[in-house]
Structures are given as structure tokens and as C-alpha cells.
């Protein structure tokens, strides 16, 4: 059994989607970020950065924080969604998500969605980053169906962030290849199930 500490956010959803895709038995535990449960003494012991997601694999007593590391751990353990022949292609897109897509779109949400009007500079800067990110995603997806030869942890890492397109003010209709990929992945039963496992439930946004 794997315990998943999570919240209904892009980083949390990556892991519930992965676990659903793997068909692994897991126990989702809601960490209510609004109520600051991430700072509780117990949670701090398994999450040094006080952030979700975290997994505790009870089978071997392995605790892991950071969603990219968790995806790599699960892919390696269950030998799925990380094809050896395409290992570096997949890993580079996972790192691209971790280092650029997540941090920049996360900042865009702060300035464009939660705090509009506070800093014109930050709004323009993060809008520019969001546009750049979608241009990169759209180009790659114009060349192939997924971020690698087949559906992989790269898609699982990136997709939940694109599901927040409204918050970073991106019209998916301007990125036809991302739109095609986004809608295709939205229909996967594991994605539909993994989208809502803790906290309030939401519909998957449609462009
Ligand atoms: N790089 C981390 C980022 C995790 C992260 O930012 N989690 C957010 C939710 S999506 C969080 O727990 N925020 C709570 C806080 O910052 O207090 C990962 O990918 O796991």
C-alpha cells in the first residue's frame, strides 16, 4: 500500500493520475493547504519543504517528496511510462516541467489569477513566460503524439499544469497541438479518476 499526501493541485494530481494509470492500490490523504496543514509537525517530518505531494511506500518504508522524484520512483518500480529506449527524452521533458512549466505557471497564477492589479510588471513577465512555454509545448506536439514515443511520465507531469490554462490566461485554441493532446489525455479513465481524489472535486476544464 502507498500513502499519497495530496491536494487538488497540479503537482498533487500528477501523482494520483500516475497511481491510477498504474492500477496500484493507494491511500489518498488530503492535506488542506488553505488550513496550513502542510506546516503541521507530522507532515513536516515527511515533507522538508512543507509541500505536497509526498508518498510513503509502506511496502519498503520509502518516503519521497518532490513530484518529479515520485514519478521517477513509481515508473522505475512498476516499469511503466518510462521506456528505457527513450529514457533521456522522457526525463528531459520531466525536468523541463519541474524547472520551467511548474514554477513559471505557478507564478503566473499568483499574479494573474490570485492578485491581479498588484504588479503590472509581474503580470506581463509571467504572461510572457506562459506564452513561451505553450509555444515550446505546441512545437513538440506538432512533431509527435506525446512528449516521447508513447504516453509517459512526461505527459503525466505536464498535463495537470495545462489543465490550469484559464488561470494563466492561455487560450488553448491558439495552440492546436497542445489542445489535441490535452483533450486526448483528458479522456483517459485514469486521468478522470486521478483528477479528483482528495478535497473538493472539480470538472476537468474544457477549452
Ligand atoms: N517542486 C515541488 C512543488 C510542490 C508544490 O509547490 N506544492 C504546492 C501545491 S501544488 C504546495 O504544497 N504548496 C503549499 C505551500 O507552498 O505552502 C513538486 O513538484 O513536488
pLDDT in tens, 39-70: 999 999 999 999 999 999 999 999 999 999 99
> Which of 31, 61, 80 lies at the terminal end of a domain, its last residue?
80
Does ligand 1 lie within 6 Å of residue 122's CB atom?
no
Question: What is the domain range of residue 105?
Answer: 84-191
147 occurs within a structural domain: yes
Asked if residue 203 is part of any domain, the answer here is no
**Structure confidence by residue, pLDDT tens digits, 96-132:** 999 999 999 999 999 999 999 999 999 999 999 999 9
Q: How big is the CA angle at 176 (ends 174 and 179), to the nearest 5 degrees?
A: 100
The answer as to whether 93 is a domain residue is yes
Q: Do residues 89 and 61 share a domain? A: no
Is 45 inside a domain boundary? yes
Ligand 1 touching residue 9 (CB < 6 A): yes
Q: From the CA of 100, how far away is ligand 1's center (Å)?
A: 14
CATH assignment at residue 36: 3.40.30.10
**Domain count within the chain:** 2
Amino acid at each position: 500500500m502507498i500513502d499519497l499526501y495530496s491536494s487538488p493541485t497540479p503537482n498533487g494530481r500528477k501523482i494520483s493520475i500516475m497511481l491510477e494509470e498504474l492500477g496500484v492500490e493507494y491511500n489518498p490523504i488530503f492535506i488542506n493547504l488553505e488550513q496550513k496543514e502542510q506546516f503541521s509537525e507530522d507532515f513536516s517530518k515527511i515533507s522538508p519543504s512543507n509541500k505536497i505531494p509526498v508518498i510513503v511506500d509502506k511496502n519498503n518504508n520509502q518516503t519521497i517528496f518532490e513530484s518529479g522524484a515520485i514519478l521517477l520512483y513509481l515508473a522505475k518500480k512498476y516499469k511503466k511510462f518510462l521506456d528505457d529506449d527513450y529514457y533521456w527524452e522522457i526525463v528531459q521533458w520531466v525536468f523541463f516541467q519541474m524547472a520551467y512549466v511548474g514554477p513559471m505557471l505557478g507564478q503566473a497564477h499568483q499574479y494573474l489569477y490570485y492578485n491581479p492589479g498588484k504588479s503590472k510588471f509581474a503580470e506581463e513577465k509571467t504572461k510572457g513566460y506562459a506564452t513561451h512555454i505553450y509555444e515550446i509545448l505546441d512545437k513538440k506536439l506538432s512533431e509527435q503524439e506525446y512528449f516521447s514515443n508513447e504516453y509517459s511520465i512526461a505527459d503525466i507531469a505536464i498535463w495537470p499544469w495545462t489543465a490550469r490554462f484559464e488561470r494563466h490566461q492561455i487560450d488553448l485554441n491558439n495552440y492546436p497541438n497542445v489542445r489535441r493532446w490535452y483533450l486526448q489525455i483528458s479522456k483517459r479513465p485514469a486521468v478522470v479518476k486521478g483528477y479528483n481524489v482528495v478535497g473538493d472535486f472539480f470538472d476537468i476544464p474544457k477549452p
